[in-house]
Amino acid sequence: MSNLETSRGNWGSKFGFIIAAAGSAIGLGNIWRFPYVAGENGGAAFVLIYIIFVVLIGLPVMIAELAIGRNTEKNPVGAFKKLFPQSLWKAIGGLGVITGIGILSFYAVIAGYTVGYFIKIILGDFSAVESAAQSGQIFAAFTANPYISIGLLLVFIILTVLVVMGGVSAGIERWSKILMPLLFLLLIILAIYSITLEGASKGLSFYLKPDLSKITLTTFARALGQALFSLSLGMGTMITYGSYISKRDNLVTSAAYVCFFDTLIAILAGLVIFPALFAMGMDPAGGPGLVFVVLPSIFAKMPGGMIFGAGIFLLLAVAALTSTISLLEVPVAYFVDEHGWSRKKAVVSMGAITFIIGIPSALALGANHFFSTFIKENFGFLDFMNALFGNYSLSIGAFFIAIFAGYKWGVNAISREIQEQGSVFYFRPIWAFLIRFICPIAIFVILAYIAWTGNYF
Ligand code: PHE
């Protein structure tokens, strides 16, 4: 990513791009958000629809975003403007810029909690945990402290700002190559441990045996939002990252790798959480606190658990950082490219704005009554921002990106971009069918249903 802060160059190698894009995709979306959303929406039935959406909607939209980005070499607003200067399409880029700030504002709160949990584990705060209920109380007390929540939010924003400002992003790329496989390895070990706990089988069947009667249109809506969120799609992150890929790389295979690894990590996170959760007799619909309650209860029992625990939360913080970088990069690239701001000015001002917008989310898990019950009981400001930007805004963005790719700029233009320098566009007719018909129709039906029923949250 060293090129992000200098001129527009290319990623070091094909592998460099895949690592950076996977770094954006893999994060709290996989390990924090996926398990609790799956738990709230029927378990295995949700997982099934989720995987279908990754393949039928996520992959084609990712290919479209990467092609738009590489062709235009621009931020999302600049990209639409360059292709169709007089049109309104740039508004979709503008929505992406706002969405980036919106998501980052609450994402950094949760990312801050992972840093906090890393410190708490080292301090031995969980060594006496005997039950999930106790672990739940620790989490509640932790998030109810406004100074800690806001302080950790600030810490995480500063970390992100420092990386995006320049200097260390090449290092992050290098570290990611070691740390991400390590995260994968720790998750595998934890999943094996979790599956072998007594009473785990109920969790396995909840997570892996679909009960199709649990599927409603709301399940589809949540699965769509989760797939786009987890793959960093619908707000131009992949347009921005695509603007740095070399013409030699095959966009289709790169996108397929990113989708595959992202989904693998999410599925694995569920294999850690659900067997243990059922073994401890907890409610799978526990909401955003789920992993913060379940993981420490696992570590408390496991031999060497605290070392594992510290490792997992540290790696989770790193995974979150490679995602927050990509979230901040979208508004920063916009202000640098379109308004001629210096990189430093753009990064610092966007970081400051995000911090301020993030404060209500930091107070929304118990620190402040108003923000904690912003929409209803157990659905506070953080959940509100998460649904608004993390589901709906991304869905609207993905809808228009599909229309743009399928009809406005067109299948032929995208194919030409993909076939640059002799790359083969595998499955072109299938892609064209998905981006022109399946993606827009499915997203439209889901959004129309949500708007019609008013069942937003
Ligand atoms: N995909 C990231 C994650 O799963 C979050 C993200 C969403 C990043 C949208 C960029 C854009 O953690």
Q: How confident is the model at residue 2 (pLDDT cuts 50, 70, 90)?
A: very low
Structure confidence by residue, pLDDT tens digits, 381-431: 999 999 999 999 999 999 999 999 999 999 999 999 999 988 889 899 999
CA of 46 to the centre of ligand 1 (A): 19
- Round the average pLDDT of the chain to a whole number and report it: 94
Q: How far is the CA of 266 from the centre of ligand 1 (A)?
A: 12
29 CA → ligand 1 middle, Å = 6
Ligand 1 pocket mutation pick from 99, 232, 259, 401 by most atoms within 8 angstroms of CB: 232
Summarised one tens digit per residue, pLDDT across range 139-189 is: 999 999 999 999 999 999 999 999 998 756 677 777 888 888 999 999 999
Say whether pLDDT at 10 is over 70: no
Distance 387 CA to ligand 1 centre (A): 14
Per-residue pLDDT for 4 more than 70?
no
* pLDDT tens profile 32-61: 999 999 999 999 999 999 999 999 999 999
pLDDT (0 to 100) of residue 315: 96
pLDDT at 11: 66
Atom of ligand 1 nearest to the CA of 327: 10
| Most ligand 1 atoms within 8 A of CB, residue of 34, 109, 237 to mutate | 237
Pocket of ligand 1 contains residue 323 by CB under 6 Å: yes
Which atom, in ligand 1's list, is nearest to the CA of 231?
A: 1
Residue 245: per-residue pLDDT: 86
- Decide whether any atom of ligand 1 lies within 6 Å of the 32 Cβ: no
Q: 103 CB under 6 A from ligand 1?
A: yes
pLDDT digits (tens, 9 = 90+) for 259-293: 999 999 999 999 999 999 999 999 999 999 999 99
Buried b (16+ CB within 10 A) or exposed e, 248-273: ebbbbebbbbbbebbbebbbbbbbbb
Q: Is 105 in the pocket of ligand 1 (CB under 6 A)?
A: no
- Sorted by where each starts, the structural domains of the chain and their CATH numbers stand as 3-453 (1.20.1740.10)
327 touches ligand 1 (CB under 6 Å):
yes
> Does ligand 1 lie within 6 Å of residue 95's CB atom?
no
Give the confidence band of 215 by pLDDT, cuts at 50, 70, 90: very high
pLDDT in tens, 306-329: 999 999 999 999 999 999 999 999
Please choose, from the candidates 333, 5, 21, the residue with its C-alpha nearest in 3D space to the C-alpha of residue 13.
21
The confidence score (pLDDT) of residue 6 equals: 40
Question: What tens digit of pLDDT does each residue of 194-213 get?
Answer: 999 999 999 999 999 999 99
Q: Is residue 27 within 6 Å of ligand 1 at its C-beta?
A: yes
Residue with tokens 């599956």: 195
Q: How confident is the model at residue 1 (pLDDT cuts 50, 70, 90)?
A: very low
DSSP 99-164: HHHHHHHHHHHHHHHHHHHHHHHHTTTTTT--SHHHHHHHHHHHHT-HHHHHHHHHHHHHHHHHHH
Tell me, what's the pLDDT at 18? Answer: 85
182 CA from centroid of ligand 1 (Å): 20
Ligand 1 near 22 CB (within 6 A): no
3-state secondary structure 345-383: HHHHHHHHHHHHHHHHHHCCCCCCHHHHCCCECCECHHH
Question: What is the pLDDT, as a whole number, of residue 399?
Answer: 98
